[in-house]
Structure 1
Amino acid sequence: MHVIVLGSAAGGGFPQWNCNCKNCAGVRKLHPHYQARTQSSIAISADGEHWLLCNASPDVRTQINATPSLWPKSLRGSGVKEVLLVDAQIDHVTGLLSLREGCPLDVWCTPNVHADLNDGFPIFPMLSHWNGGLNWQPIKVVEDTVEYSFRVPCLPGIRLTAFTIDSNAPPYSPRRNQPSNGDNIGLYIEDRATGKSLCYAPGLGMPSALSMAYLNAADVVMVDGTLWKDDEMQAMGVGSSTGHQMGHLAASGGNGMLALLDELPASTLRFLIHINNTNPVLNAESDAFKTLDQHNIQLAHDGLHLTLE
Structure 2
Amino acid sequence: MKLIVLGASAGGGFPQWNCNCRNCAGVRDGSVRAKPRTQSSICVAADDSPDWALLNASPDILQQIKATPALQPARALRDTGIGGVLLVDGQIDHATGLFMLREQKTPMALWCTDPVHEDLSTGNPVLRVLEHYCGVDRQHIPLDGTPFRMPKVPGIEFSALPLSSKAAPYSPHREASVAGDNVGVTITDLNSGRKLFYAPGLGARTPEVHARLLAADCVMVDGTFWTDDEMIAAGLSTRTARDIGHLPQSGPDGMMEWLDELPRHVRKILIHINNTNPILDEASAERAELTRRGIEVAEDGWLIHI
Which TM-score band (shorter chain)? over 0.9
Task: Give 1:228-267 correspondences, 5 Å limit.
Answer: 228-267=226-265
Q: Residues of 2 paired with 1:163 and 1:284: CA distance?
A: 32
- 2:218 aligned with 1:220: yes
1:125 to 128, 149, 173: 128
Note the C-alpha offset of 1:192.
1.8
- CA 1:228–1:98 in structure 2 vs 1: closer, same or farther (change >3 Å)? same
2:4 counterpart of 1:12: no
Which residue of 2 is the match for residue 197 of structure 1? Answer: 195
Aligned letter for 2:245? G
- Per the alignment, residue 136 of structure 1 pairs with 138
Task: Report the AA paired with residue 129 of structure 2.
Answer: M
Match of 1:34 in 2: 34
- CA shift, 1:32, in A, is 6.4
Q: Secondary structure at the match of 2:110?
A: strand
Q: Could you tell me whether the CA contact under 8 Å between 1:202 and 1:222 is conserved in 2?
A: yes
Contact conserved, 1:165 with 1:207, CA < 8 A, in 2? no
Which structure 1 segments of 5+ residues have no match? none
Query: Does the C-alpha gap of structure 1 residues 32 and 233 become closer, same or farther in structure 2, counting only changes over 3 Å?
Result: closer
Q: How far apart, in 2, do the equivalents of 1:37 and 1:147 lie? A: 32
Normalising by the residue count of structure 1, what TM-score does the alignment of the two structures yield?
0.96
Runs of 4+ in 1 over 6 A off after TM superposition: none
- Aligned partner of 1:91 among 90, 93, 96: 93
2:70 is equivalent to residue 75 of structure 1: no
TM superposition shift of 1:270: 0.3
Q: Distance in 2 between matches of 1:96 and 1:30?
A: 33
Q: C-alpha distance in 2, partners of 1:79/1:28?
A: 33
Query: Could you tell me which amino acid in structure 1 is paired with residue 209 of structure 2?
Result: S
Structure 2 gap ranges (5+): none
**% identical aligned pairs:** 50
Q: Distance in 2 between matches of 1:212 and 1:245?
A: 21
Mapping of residues 144-183 of structure 1, within 5 Å: 146-183=144-181
CA contact (8 A) 2:38 2:300 kept: yes
SS in 2 for 1:64: helix
Aligned-pair distance for 1:185? Answer: 0.4
CA distance in 2, matches of 1:48, 1:29: 41
SS in 2 for 1:288: helix
| Alignment check: 8 A CA contact 1:158 1:192 kept | yes
The 8 Å contact of residues 83 and 150 in structure 2, kept in 1 or not, is answered as no
How many residue pairs were aligned?
303
Distance 2:190 2:18 in 1: 45
